[in-house]
Amino acid sequence: MADTGIFATTAEVQRKAGAKANTTANAEAYINDFMTQAESEINAMSRVNWSDLYASLNADVKGLLKQAASNLAAIYIIQYDMSGYTSRAEAETMLDVLYDGFRRAMSLLEDEKKRSFIENA
């Protein structure tokens, strides 16, 4: 099976989910599903179909989309099964950090004034 995500690769998502992630959820088939959901959510939240525009985007904009999508997909992996982490607090801290990064990226993608700058980068 191959990566089907547009914004981020399986390996990039796996790095964010960490070494203790559940092996079922951290497999490519699950990650492809999580990436489809993440990309759709990013497009809907920002009201821009970044998936269709992706090939024409600047590398910096692609990096912002990668950050948002890989963070959200890693959240899905961690929340699938937190039992592999040293403690629930460890998993929750990882979720908090990933969600904060997702929200920061989304705030830039959602902001009308910043979006104009992003689209013209």
Q: 95-112: per-residue pLDDT in tens?
A: 999 999 999 999 999 886
With respect to residue 27, please indicate whether it lies within any of the assigned structural domains.
yes
- Average of per-residue pLDDT values in the chain: 93
Instruction: With cut-offs at 50, 70 and 90, classify the pLDDT of residue 29.
Output: very high
Closest CA to 36 of 62, 13, 60, 19: 13
The model's pTM? 0.92
Domain residue limits at 66? 10-119
With respect to residue 52, please indicate whether it lies within any of the assigned structural domains.
yes
pLDDT reading at 115 higher than 90: no
With respect to residue 58, please indicate whether it lies within any of the assigned structural domains.
yes
With respect to residue 5, please indicate whether it lies within any of the assigned structural domains.
no
What number is the average pLDDT over the span 6-28? 97
Q: How many beta carbons lie within 10 A of that of residue 6, not counting itself?
A: 17
With respect to residue 88, please indicate whether it lies within any of the assigned structural domains.
yes
DSSP letter at 1 equals: -
With respect to residue 56, please indicate whether it lies within any of the assigned structural domains.
yes
Residue 41: per-residue pLDDT: 97
pLDDT reading at 16 higher than 90: yes
With respect to residue 32, please indicate whether it lies within any of the assigned structural domains.
yes
With respect to residue 3, please indicate whether it lies within any of the assigned structural domains.
no
Is the Cβ–Cβ distance between 7 and 54 less than 8 Å?
yes
**Residues in CB range of 39: below 8 A, 6 or more apart:** 5, 6, 7, 50, 51, 69
pLDDT reading at 119 higher than 80: no
Domain count, the chain: 1
Residue 2: per-residue pLDDT: 86
pLDDT reading at 113 higher than 90: no
CA distance 2 to 9: 10
Cβ neighbourhood burial of 42 (10 Å; 0-12, 13-18, 19+): buried
Q: By percentage, how much of the chain surpasses pLDDT 90?
A: 83
pLDDT reading at 46 higher than 90: yes
